[in-house]
Structure 1
Amino acid sequence: MTVPAAFPWRLVLLCCGAEILTMLGFALVPTLLPTFTAEWGLSATEGGWLGGVFFLGYITAVPLLVSLTDRYDARRIYLLAASLSALALAAFALFARSFVPGLLCWLVAGFGLAGTYMPGLRALTDRLPVAFQSRGTAFYTASFGTGAGLSYLLLEGLGRLLPWPLLFALAAAAVAAAVALIAFALPPKLPVTAAGSGDGGWRSVLRDRRILAFCGAYCGHNWELFGFRSWLVAYLTWSHLQTPSALTAAPGIVAALATFLAVPASILGNEGAHRWGRTVWLRRVMNLSAAMALLVALMGNVGGHGWWAMVLLLAYAATMNLDSAAMTAGLLTETPPDRRGKALALYACIGFAGGFVGPVAFGMALDAFGRHGVGGWSAGFVTLALGIGLARLSIGLVDKKGPAAT
């Protein structure tokens, strides 16, 4: 009788720990944007560019950096990109005293994320037995939310005690620690495709209907997720002005809690996909998330309804993450190794394009319906339902017949 191998906890915790360290600076610019606006005399447009250029850097660099993991050990790409990210954060601390230097430093930090998040996932899964790749992916993608939540939480506490350049310096030190951790604790390994001879070209990826369906679904997921996270603190601040409440008095704490809820939700979501079938599960939880977004839209002012409204808002924050790991694990496990890097590159690029569109669509709804009234904020949450609706339409194509990986 064959004894099943034990889950490789040490390897998974190593990669997840490094990912968390690289994410500790994630909320720096969004949280400090009011400070930069005042100190640097930024217009609203300049503030928007400073906040969004991080994801522009990510989208620009991710197709190249992630696709290279088909040819080179993802560990090497991770180490180079993480080092670049640490330098960008240190440069922000030392030299960013106006709009243009800050914009350039934060753009380069986005390049760094492009070379650490998905390449880190590839470095992990290339070292995992096939039987453990799906669960390993769930833990790793959950660590993104853990790092982001810790970033908000630490800034809520340290932001009042330390000058902002020191906060960037501490984030740079955290990324440098991740570099050391991966360099000394994760052994080199040839990529899985080095021993194969499959066609890993872009054409085969772009013709695969399943890959494109997962990419579209990830775009809609990130539209909803980053639209919600980008406007959550502002929404709670507005709600507190309308109806002062202890529940909305510390919006940074609520934002951190909402982000932390992504961790168990993402892991449990992947387990649900194992139990009920991936596409069945994804369709159900995406429908649920759209319904929750519309409920929050109908609720309007969270502070005016008491504790149950905050529970509903946090439940929605958890619900929108029930699909994340299940989608990423599906893409990885159902794509042949020789084209996995390019598939991840396309997935990340299209997905984080949704992360850019979501906050913009929410803001446009606020401008159209009034950012100082309930109607504007309700319309903003309706745009989140539209985003996850796009994901639901895309995931419906996963099981349809079409050109498939061979």
Structure 2
Amino acid sequence: MTDTTRAPLALVALFCAAETFSMAGFALVPSLLPRLSEQWSLSATEGGWLSGIFFLGYILAVPLLVSLTDRLDARRVYLACAGLSGIALAGFGSLADSLSAALCWWSLAGLGLAGTYMPGLKAMTDRLPVAVQSRATAFYTATFGVGVGLSYLWIELLQGLMPWPSLFAVAAAGAALSVLLVWRGVSPGKSSLRPRVGHGQWHNVLHDRRILAFCGGYFGHNWELFGFRAWLVAYLTWTHAMSPDAWTARPGWIAALATFLAVPASILGNEGAQHWGRKRWLQSVMPLSCILALIVGLSGSQSSRLLVPVILVYAASMNLDSAALTAGLLTETPPEQRGTALALYSSIGFAGGFIGPVAFGAALDAFGHNTHAGWAAGFVTLACGVGCGRWAIGRIESQGSGIGRQ
């Protein structure tokens, strides 16, 4: 199905804008983690759970919501779940007064993301000519970084001007705006007449080694990426407390810049994968990211004038595989199985997004959250995450997978 009412460029721009607005609240918990940890007397492990529960909500909902788009117009799923995101954000801001309440509302926000991120991608690609789907996917997945970066940025600008519950109200308004954009700007499509996704289709997807390779790579990518984003502001806050410096005085600015770097890195990564081959590209950039994670961990005792540039280089490197993985999955999956494949991809991938923040927090508690050793151990967990992703790709490939065929 293609959308004949809009040119491809306009359609991609609309979905990217909607994605950006829907993610206005994405960085709220990571940005406010030092404040919430102090207010609710949280351990580092509990802080990791608060950050990671978002992705647990995501992975519990995504198999149903994304596979549903093989039968229903993905636009309908997107609209319902973007509205749910707004409700969850408003509920957190007005009703979360303890860790348990915050966990409930933040997991619901993650469920909302499950129904907007990949369903939004499918709603967009369903309406685009095949020839432009790969590059459109790269821009859409890169916009995830734009949304996260802008989330860090506006929170950094406003958190000193209003109480933290009001920040959640602002983010809820962003989710409402994304609903309005898609509702008014994207014409409804026809639902498929195909029967409900059954065991046969799941069997086909689960036994496709190319799909499993991309899922394993995405698991490692998200473990590293979201573990890093969950703890970056807290890490820079600790660094500034140990050695005050203008570079770390506004950690939200550094976190936003680190996230914005994901955009060109992700697009460049997809172009590199198309030029040099997806398999070769992923096998090169994932070990590079692993090495840089260890370098950042070892650089924590250095001057922030050295540490911050290293963090920014690392932040860019960890996104060189993002669009290459997602575009690879889409281009190598038959159209009638894409919803199911994306459901599996998202479930496995965002399981890494849940594990990353929790593993980082556990390492902090184990080695000392006020010590360089504790933070270094946290970054080691990130290296382990992307290492798992690289191992998964290599393991499946050695069994004869055709991963990366162009």
Q: Same fold (TM over 0.5)?
A: yes
**Which runs of structure 2 are paired with 1:221-232 in the superposition (5 Å)?**
221-232=221-232
Whole-Å separation in 1 of the counterparts to 2:225 and 2:194: 36
Say whether residues 1:353 and 2:351 are aligned partners.
yes
Match of 2:157 in 1: 157
Moved more, 29-38 or 17-26: 29-38
Moved more, 221-230 or 317-326: 221-230
Match of 2:336 in 1: 338
Whole-Å separation in 1 of the counterparts to 2:227 and 2:25: 19
| Matching residue's letter, 1:287 | P
Match of 2:3 in 1: none
Whole-Å separation in 1 of the counterparts to 2:293 and 2:305: 18
Match of 1:312 in 2: 310
Whole-Å separation in 1 of the counterparts to 2:94 and 2:237: 31
User: Sequence identity, in percent?
Assistant: 63
| Matching residue's letter, 1:371 | H
Label 1:299 to 1:45 Cα distance change in 2 as closer, same or farther (>3 A).
Answer: closer
Root-mean-square deviation over aligned CA pairs: 2.5
Whole-Å separation in 1 of the counterparts to 2:170 and 2:62: 25
Match of 1:145 in 2: 145
Whole-Å separation in 1 of the counterparts to 2:245 and 2:29: 27
| Matching residue's letter, 1:378 | A
Whole-Å separation in 2 of the counterparts to 1:51 and 1:334: 33
Label 1:163 to 1:367 Cα distance change in 2 as closer, same or farther (>3 A).
Answer: closer
Match of 1:122 in 2: 122
Whole-Å separation in 1 of the counterparts to 2:88 and 2:372: 40
Match of 1:327 in 2: 325
- CA offsets per residue over residues 321-351 of structure 1, 9 Å max, x none? 0000000000011001111111101111111
Moved more, 79-88 or 241-250: 241-250
Match of 1:52 in 2: 52
Whole-Å separation in 2 of the counterparts to 1:41 and 1:390: 33
Label 1:398 to 1:331 Cα distance change in 2 as closer, same or farther (>3 A).
Answer: farther
Whether the 8 Å CA contact 1:18–1:182 is kept in 2: the answer is: yes
1:102 Cα shift?
3.2
Match of 1:217 in 2: 217
1:58 Cα shift?
0.7
Match of 2:271 in 1: 271
Match of 1:111 in 2: 111
Say whether residues 1:19 and 2:19 are aligned partners.
yes
Whole-Å separation in 2 of the counterparts to 1:132 and 1:200: 30
Moved more, 223-232 or 233-242: 233-242
1:243 Cα shift?
2.4
Moved more, 64-73 or 36-45: 36-45
Please give the secondary structure, in 1, of the residue aligned with 2:246.
Answer: coil
Whole-Å separation in 2 of the counterparts to 1:258 and 1:97: 30
Whole-Å separation in 1 of the counterparts to 2:111 and 2:238: 33
1:91 Cα shift?
2.5
Whether the 8 Å CA contact 2:240–2:248 is kept in 1: the answer is: yes
Whether the 8 Å CA contact 1:198–1:338 is kept in 2: the answer is: no
**Which runs of structure 2 are paired with 1:6-405 in the superposition (5 Å)?**
8-39=8-39, 47-190=47-190, 201-301=201-301, 304-305=302-303, 307-397=305-395, 399-400=397-398
1:199 Cα shift?
9.3
Whether the 8 Å CA contact 1:209–1:397 is kept in 2: the answer is: no
1:397 Cα shift?
4.6
Whether the 8 Å CA contact 2:223–2:382 is kept in 1: the answer is: yes
Match of 1:3 in 2: none
- CA offsets per residue over residues 299-322 of structure 1, 9 Å max, x none? 232xx3353432222101100000
Whole-Å separation in 1 of the counterparts to 2:351 and 2:205: 18
| Matching residue's letter, 2:270 | N
- CA offsets per residue over residues 172-201 of structure 1, 9 Å max, x none? 111111111101111122367859x99971
Whole-Å separation in 2 of the counterparts to 1:68 and 1:259: 31
1:100 Cα shift?
4.0
Label 1:377 to 1:179 Cα distance change in 2 as closer, same or farther (>3 A).
Answer: same
Whether the 8 Å CA contact 1:66–1:118 is kept in 2: the answer is: yes
Please give the secondary structure, in 1, of the residue aligned with 2:307.
Answer: helix
Whether the 8 Å CA contact 1:208–1:402 is kept in 2: the answer is: no
Label 1:290 to 1:191 Cα distance change in 2 as closer, same or farther (>3 A).
Answer: farther
Moved more, 40-49 or 372-381: 40-49
Whether the 8 Å CA contact 2:28–2:151 is kept in 1: the answer is: yes
Q: Structure 2: state its 5+ residue gaps.
A: 1-5
Please give the secondary structure, in 2, of the residue aligned with 1:351.
Answer: helix
Please give the secondary structure, in 2, of the residue aligned with 1:225.
Answer: helix
Please give the secondary structure, in 1, of the residue aligned with 2:340.
Answer: helix
- CA offsets per residue over residues 148-191 of structure 1, 9 Å max, x none? 11111111111111222322111111111111110111112236
1:40 Cα shift?
5.1
Please give the secondary structure, in 2, of the residue aligned with 1:120.
Answer: helix
Whole-Å separation in 2 of the counterparts to 1:388 and 1:311: 21
1:241 Cα shift?
2.7
1:88 Cα shift?
1.8
Aligned pair count? 397
| Matching residue's letter, 1:84 | L
| Matching residue's letter, 1:362 | F
